[in-house]
Chains A and B, each alone.
Chain A
Amino acid sequence: MIALDDVCKAFGANRVLCGVTLSVGRGESLVVIGGSGSGKSVLLKCILGLVPPDSGRIALDGQDVTRLPRDPFLARFGMLFQGGALFDSLRVWENVAFRLLRGPGRRPRAEARAAAIAKLARVGLGAATADLYPAELSGGMQKRVGLARAIAADPEVIFFDEPTTGLDPIMAGVINALIREIVVEMGATAITITHDMASVRAIADRVAMLHDGVIRWQGPVAGMDAASDPFLQQFIHGRAEGPIAALR
């Protein structure tokens, strides 16, 4: 469904992506792993057009994304940002219902609010949080509100950027299960970024490891442990020693 071909992106002298080739099928859950600063977030932003790639092609259903009209293109996506990126001038429910309150598919406020509260319940937040402001929530709650916002309009493709970072293990488990459920139930295509190997095993159909600007390894999650790639093994087992330098 989404195909990247030889995508490169540099910020000045900092070459972040140097020839990423990767694809995700419809209804598939791909997890991208890789060290901090390896360009995982930049990868997602390139697909969405938030960061223009320097070279390479990105296609959605075989069509070049730069040629597709922006609004219908973006309407097919939902994204959970690494830091939540909630609008702090809006209440929690207005954040979740942002897309429902505006644009062509706009719904009455009461209806949008009810839909938002239903999505909040799915991520384990009670109706009482709906009227708070994001600044009044803990980091983990903000993350879950971001998740609720990403799935609010039932998108076809969802990107989760570190969905469980900063959550306690139980809540992380809840979120992992939820992501899996969304992919299975909604038939959504998902790309998830994570460092958390428990998440990888819970969420992934397929795993790709980004290192040094390229996809170092990719394959089904079941083949991950048996793979011989030393970079992948070091990452999976969290070893300080190995081909990936700890000093970056």
Chain B
Amino acid sequence: MRIVLAPLAVTGAAVLGLLAGVGRATLFALSVLSHLLRPPFYLREFASALMTIGYFSLPVVGLTALFTGGALALQIYAGGARFNAEAVVPSIVAIGMVRELGPVLGGLMVAARVASSIAAELGTMKVTEQIDALVTLSTHPLKYLAVPRVLAATLAVPVLVGVGDAIGIFGGYLVGTTRLGFDAATYLRNTVDFLEFWDIGSGLVKGAVFGFIVALMGAWFGMNSARGAQGVGAATKAAVVTASVLILAANYVLTELFFSA
């Protein structure tokens, strides 16, 4: 009997632990949201988060978009050639970029870059008692550390996605005009003519949601880091993995919401 029950008990405990964690993380998210609009506001921390999360992520997001746009053009050309539809390359590259690949790949790159750094920074603050020190100095750690970062990421990632969209389309254009024999003017006209406002807008909304997820996961795992260097390492890994999976899941849900008939 014991042999049968023991694995069940272990599984049950693990599931309960996971559910409790999800519950606490959800409360944390709600708490962050409720603090967004209540003073005090830490403008200095917000501005510096905006720089590190937004501005310094531009190169990595830009390069990702550039290569993705280029590869997309090659693929769609090859696929389109099977039914003599090579002409769709510019519009499909644009739609694929702004609706899907721009936000998703941008979000994942930001998760790698930002969720990790937030988790490692806040985790180190936790294990070196800096978070306790904040409390003794009458400063709410969630408000001082998490809120500015979450707000900055939610506002900055859509901008990054927008820039990434443009660079990705440019990557497709470069490949299209140099390697696939498209006329520059035709390529641009096809890109613009078939792109609708909501194609771009939906991608930007996705970007905002992904930014929120990334900073929230970084802050959550960092502030709950276990003790020691190992604790910080584990927190960082968990933040990146969870943020990435949540981004992909949220992407599906949002796409279903926005575009399913």
Residues of A near any B CB (own CB < 8 A): 45, 48-50, 70-71, 74-75, 77-79, 81-83, 85-89, 98-99, 102-103, 149
Contacts and interface: CB of A to CB of B under 8 A. Distances in A.
A71 B135 CA distance: 9
Interface residues of B, number: 15
Nearest to A79: B136
Nearest to A70: B138
Interface in B48-95: 48
- Label chain B's interface by main secondary structure: helix
Contact of A103 (B40, B128, B129, B135): B40
Contacts of A99: 137-138
B133 A75 contact: no
A161 B110 CA distance: 39
B178 interface: no
A87 B136 contact: no
Interface in B132-189: 132-139
Given A102-B40, A103-B40, A77 B130 contact: no
Contact of A81 (B40, B121, B133, B139): B133
Given A102-B40, A103-B40, A45 B138 contact: no
A89 B121 CA distance: 10
A75 B136 CA distance: 8
Nearest to B134: A87
Contacts of B139: 98, 102-103
A74 B136 contact: yes
B13 to A, nearest CB: 15
B236 to A, nearest CB: 17
B138 A83 contact: no
A81 B132 contact: yes
B130 A87 contact: yes
A79 B138 contact: no
A86 B136 contact: no
Contacts of B135: 48-50, 74
27 contacts: A45-B132, A48-B135, A48-B136, A49-B135, A50-B132, A50-B136, A71-B138, A74-B135, A74-B136, A75-B138, A78-B136, A79-B136, A81-B132, A81-B133, A82-B129, A85-B129, A85-B130, A85-B132, A86-B130, A87-B133, A98-B137, A98-B139, A99-B137, A102-B40, A103-B40, A103-B139, A149-B137
